[in-house]
Amino acid sequence: MTTVDQPSDSTSMPAGPGLDPTALPPERSRGRAASASRLAVGAIAALVLLGLPLVLEAQRLVHPLHILIMICLYATLAQAWNILGGYAGQISLGNAVFFGVGAYTSTLLMTRIGLSPWLGILVGMFVAVLVSLAIGYPCFRLGGHYFAIATIAVGEIVQTLFINWREVGGASGIHLPLLPEAFVNFQFHSSKLPYYYIALAMAAIAFGCAFLVERSRLGYYFRAIKGDPLAARSLGVKITRYKLYAIAISAALTAMAGTLYAQYILVIDPESVLPLSLSVLICLVAVLGGIGSIWGPLLGALVLIPLSEGTRVYLAQSGGGGRAIDLMVYGALIVLVAVFQPGGLVAISRRFRGRG
């Protein structure tokens, strides 16, 4: 499920890569043509990402634009999770804590001292990093399921604290005051387009981070820690320190998205920004897409978010009902992927590419 893209070593491929299931596909041998076509695909993708919303906007298709924003938001969150859970193998079911910290920090700074949410983002990220270190430092001593359950416990504790914390609105949360539409206020009322571009930029930042992580010492160490912590230590990897790096990066990116959410929805409360279900959804997106690979989170978000938003609208129009059909499909998809293709959608698409 892991690939390496090292353009430098195009000379050396195992003899029969197609026959050996563990050998990597012969991507490098395609050489320049491949990189040119990749460039073309990238250019088209960029054009669609930047241009499509303009078309939607012109057609006054508000809902599709909302879905695109949500895709970017969840792609960001899932990528942040992927860095911690996918690369470093630390299964967090408490990432909503960082999301909530980001949302609450920037919102409180705005409502209390009038700080621009743009600065609030930075403060929120910083606070989230501190929180993540406080969680990670003790909890990283726990392995496997114990760590996952500890993050659930921490998440539940934090949510309860916020529900009972009157000064920050308690269970009813905070309504953000409507400010004049302006970039500095991070509020746009006449169109969702600015939110889309901001969300897209955030997703790009998250993907850039994952890209850098994957190619740097961090990426190698993260994967070594995931693979075998004891072996990693005996090779000189300071595993606690690197796990803390992973959770800090994850927390910062998640908090960033938290501020976007607060500014976009303009209401935050513990039930919407801190629940376990959000933590779970974040990691479902990443896992469905395929963890430990850079495109997994995007693929996961592309599949799950339209599905969930689409069914929601469909059910609302058709008169309601259980309203949980999207989650039903999710659940079934997750089971199928886990059973038949543990590498996620990325692995499936890779298999098709390999054959084609």
Partner 1 sequence: MPLLEVRDLTMRFGGLVANDSVSLHVDADEIVGLIGPNGAGKTTLFSCISGTLRATNGQVLLEGQDVVGQTPEEICWRGIARTFQIVRTFREMTVLENVMVGALLRASGTSQARVDAEEVLELTGLAHKRHVLGAGLTIAERKRVELARALATRPKLLMLDEVMAGLNPRERQEAIDLVRTAHARGIAILMVEHVMEVIMPISDRVVVLTNGRKLLEGRPEAVSRNEEVIKAYLGERYRAVIAEPPAC
Partner 2 sequence: MPTEVLLQAVASGLLMGCVYALIAVGLSLIFGLMEIVNFAHGEFLMLAMFTTFWLALLFGIDPLLSVPICAALLFVLGVLVYKGIISRILSAPMLAQIFATFGLGVFLRSAAQFFWSADYRVVPNHVVEGRLNLGGLFLGWPQVVASIAALLAFGTLYLFVTRTEVGLAIQATSEDREAAALMGISSDRMFMLGWGIGSLCVGIAGALLANFLPIFPDVGFLFALLAYIAVALGGFGSIVGALVAGVIIGLVEAIGGLFWPSFKYVAVFVLYLMVVLVRPQGLFGRY
Please report whether residue 239 would count as binding partner 2 according to CB under 8 A: no
Task: Pick between residue 49 and residue 325 the one whose CB is nearest to partner 2.
Answer: 325
Please report whether residue 271 would count as binding partner 2 according to CB under 8 A: no
Output the smallest distance, CB 60 to partner 1, in A.
47
Q: Cα-Cα-Cα-Cα dihedral of 214, 216, 221, 222, to 10°?
A: -30
323 contact choice in partner 2, partner 1, none (CB below 5 to 8 Å, kind-dependent): partner 2
Q: Which of 63, 323, 351, 353 binds partner 2 (CB under 8 A)?
A: 323
Residue 251 contacts by C-beta under 8 Å, 6 or more apart in sequence? 80, 95, 98, 101, 125, 128, 129, 131, 132
Question: Exposure pattern of 228-267 as b/e (b: 16+ CB <10 Å)?
Answer: ebeebeeeebebeebbbbbbbbbbbbbbbbbbbbbbbebe
For the record, the structure tokens of 32 come out as 């320049």
For the record, the structure tokens of 92 come out as 């967090």
Please report whether residue 88 would count as binding partner 2 according to CB under 8 A: no
Output the smallest distance, CB 92 to partner 1, in A.
19
Q: Which of 39, 54, 235, 336 binds partner 1 (CB under 8 A)?
A: 235
Give the C-alpha separation, 73 to 304, whole Å: 12
Q: Taking a C-beta distance cutoff of 8 angstroms, is the pair 79, 207 a contact?
A: yes
Coil, strand or helix at 341: coil
Looking at 33-41, 74-82, 188-196, 338-346, which segment touches partner 2 (CB under 8 A)? Answer: 338-346
Please report whether residue 149 would count as binding partner 2 according to CB under 8 A: yes
Q: Taking a C-beta distance cutoff of 8 angstroms, is the pair 116, 134 a contact?
A: no
Please report whether residue 15 would count as binding partner 2 according to CB under 8 A: no
Task: Pick between residue 122 and residue 327 the one whose CB is nearest to partner 2.
Answer: 327
Coil, strand or helix at 142: coil
Please report whether residue 180 would count as binding partner 2 according to CB under 8 A: no
Output the smallest distance, CB 99 to partner 1, in A.
28
Q: Which of 96, 291, 301, 305 binds partner 2 (CB under 8 A)?
A: 291
Site string for partner 1, 236-255 (x = CB under 8 A): xxxx----------------
Q: Taking a C-beta distance cutoff of 8 angstroms, is the pair 136, 243 a contact?
A: yes
| Cβ burial, residue 102 (10 Å; 0-12/13-18/19+) | buried
Q: Which of 150, 176, 199, 304 binds partner 2 (CB under 8 A)?
A: 150
Output the smallest distance, CB 172 to partner 2, in A.
14
Please report whether residue 212 would count as binding partner 2 according to CB under 8 A: no
Give the C-alpha separation, 101 to 122, whole Å: 12
Please report whether residue 2 would count as binding partner 2 according to CB under 8 A: no
State the CB neighbour count (10 A cutoff) for residue 328.
11
Q: Which of 5, 10, 14, 112 binds partner 1 (CB under 8 A)?
A: 14
Give the C-alpha separation, 258 to 105, whole Å: 9
Task: Pick between residue 61 and residue 231 the one whose CB is nearest to partner 1.
Answer: 231
Q: Taking a C-beta distance cutoff of 8 angstroms, is the pair 105, 273 a contact?
A: no
Q: Which of 292, 297, 300, 344 binds partner 1 (CB under 8 A)?
A: 292
Q: Which of 10, 20, 55, 161 binds partner 1 (CB under 8 A)?
A: 20
Residue 261: CA atoms inside 13 Å, Cβ hemisphere, count? 30
Please report whether residue 227 would count as binding partner 1 according to CB under 8 A: yes
Please report whether residue 232 would count as binding partner 2 according to CB under 8 A: no
Task: Pick between residue 200 and residue 345 the one whose CB is nearest to partner 1.
Answer: 345
User: Where do contacts with partner 1 occur on this chain (CB under 8 A)?
Assistant: 1-2, 4, 6, 8-9, 12-15, 17, 20-24, 215-217, 220-221, 223-224, 226-228, 230-239, 292
